[in-house]
A and B are shown apart, each in its own frame.
Chain A
């Protein structure tokens, strides 16, 4: 199995008084096609880990490799390219551009890949079909419900078929029924071959997923796979 993500003994400290050690020697390997939940209480370092895995932040010590590219060896511009081509993000707050249609929001997922706009739009249409929103293609973001917005955000993360999709509390802003729909969608996408890491504080949601990594105080407490 090809390794998509390798987090190797990563620490992340913030120079405050006293210093904050958000991650303390985290090691985590994720293979292609895996669906992993990273679960932990508030302040356990989940979001920091997501940022480090997503190359939005560099570790203080240790290293991260995404799709074989070692973060420590890449410049800031190269990390941007890596994110554009290999990593998709889903955020709790959706982060859609309000004046834009669902189609254009999804197409923006490939804006920085150098792909021409017609191709981006064609791919965005396909991605919207994948998340069950083919009937909302031309609706602007403000006309969509919370669940639909998150589906658009998921489609945006999936559009370029990235090696890794990182979802930060994807159900955090949704009611339980809509959350269940999003979890189901994530499972479907996983079944279709996507590698997905879901960060959540909700143990009940994490238990839907085949592999659960528990974080506590910036360290991996347990890493278990469903039988």
Chain B
């Protein structure tokens, strides 16, 4: 075991500072937006003078609370998120204070489970839903999404009392792009063999991406990259693995932890807590609203159809990161990613890249069974 990366402490410390910062900002009248998805553009929120934090639930202890209202057979992320909102708004003490930090929730029309859960939220918190075209490839889709983004802008202007001007929006685009470039730098270093950072370490960082302020987050990534450049990682004994699939929200590190405990090293994550969050940049010398609409519709979420861009992206990543195998991770009852697995698997078979499909929830009851599969898979690809 090599000593842990010191820069990771920065992220932990920043987390505490950030909670205080958000509380203070709110007192001073800044509107704080709770989000659940990558499709809600940070740039517009910041351009309106608001701030944001992600509310996606990765904890198991709020699920029982959610199941008092929601069906059991929907994904744990939806249940955990909803449970945290209900608990926080009904005087519970299960969830961390995140929900109490927000003024409104900006939701998005992605999967069915989330859409229907969002319909229940207004009882607890003011909720705005951003609509998404789900066949993203056409010019009409861009036009429609553009109109949705502008509507969202107007909503934020009304909420904050600040007008969004083009110059500010461009500044925010540059700022978000800078974060994306830094993440590219971090992820690029993982192409080395052996990589200077583990997947579990990267996950800790990525889970804070939309919680910390952009300045805090970038400073952390800069420090981390510096430290990694001077780190001599121990020789690699296990295979290079890529994780592909559902997000791993804060509180959920189960699969990455098992894979690396079994001796493999995760070199890239194709997920919302991985490449999907930063891969594409927003074009900077274009009309900003259009540039945003185009970039955000390129996020290869499984709620899109057909999602060919995701499949080719996975194959591309597998080559770029020299992976020995892919662990395809789906949250239990996440139909989008679960069904899409078959097309991904077929494309990978052609490329002779092995895939192991794991479906799991937030509980610990299947840790052993998953371990058995991972063991066998790692032996198979070694």
Does B associate with A? no
| Interface residues, chain B, with chain A CB atoms under 8 Å away | none
